[in-house]
Amino acid sequence: MTMIRTAHPEEIPALVQYPDDVERNDATRAYLTDLLAKGCTRPQWCLVAEGGGHLVGSVVLWALPGGEVPTDVVLLEAPWADPEPAVGLALLTEAAVVAGRHGATGLGHVVDSPAQAPQFQRDRERRIDLLSRAGFAVARDGRRFRWLAGAELPAPDPRLHFRSLAELGPEPFVDLLAALLADTADARLGADVRRHGVRRAAELLFEESAELDHEPQWWEIGYAADGSPAVVSLPARSPAFPVIGFVGVAPAHRGRGYSRSVVARGTSILVENGATEIRGDCDVQNVAMYKGFQRAGYDNFADRLEFTRSF
CATH superfamily of this structure's domain 2-135: Gcn5-related N-acetyltransferase (GNAT) (3.40.630.30)
Tens digit of each residue's pLDDT (9 = 90 or more) over 156-203: 999 999 999 999 999 999 999 999 999 999 999 999 999 999 999 999
Average pLDDT, the chain: 97
Q: How confident is the model at residue 75 (pLDDT cuts 50, 70, 90)?
A: very high
3-state DSSP call for residue 213? strand
Work out the percent of the chain whose per-residue pLDDT is above 90: 99
CATH architecture for segment(s) 161-302: 3-Layer(aba) Sandwich (3.40)
Q: Residue 302: CB partners within 8 Å, gap ≥ 6?
A: 112, 113, 114, 116, 143, 144
The average pLDDT across 210-220 equals: 97
The average pLDDT across 112-125 equals: 95
Q: How confident is the model at residue 271 (pLDDT cuts 50, 70, 90)?
A: very high
3-state DSSP call for residue 137? strand
Tens digit of each residue's pLDDT (9 = 90 or more) over 86-105: 999 999 999 999 999 999 99
The average pLDDT across 271-288 equals: 97
pLDDT at 1: 84
Q: How confident is the model at residue 213 (pLDDT cuts 50, 70, 90)?
A: very high
C-alpha to C-alpha distance for 234 and 156, rounded to whole angstroms: 16
What is Dmax (Cα atoms) for the chain?
70
pLDDT above 90: residue 133: yes
Tens digit of each residue's pLDDT (9 = 90 or more) over 11-51: 999 999 999 999 999 999 999 999 999 999 999 999 999 99
pLDDT above 90: residue 301: yes
pLDDT at 123: 95
For the chain, give the number of residues.
311
pTM: 0.94
Q: Starting at the edge strand that comes first in sequence, how are the strands of the sheet with 72-77 ordered?
A: 2-6, 46-51, 54-62, 72-77, 106-113, 299-310, 137-148, 277-283, 242-249, 229-237, 220-223, 161-164
Do domains 2-135 and 161-302 share one topology? The answer is: yes
Domain segments of the chain as ranges: 2-135, 161-302
pLDDT at 165: 98
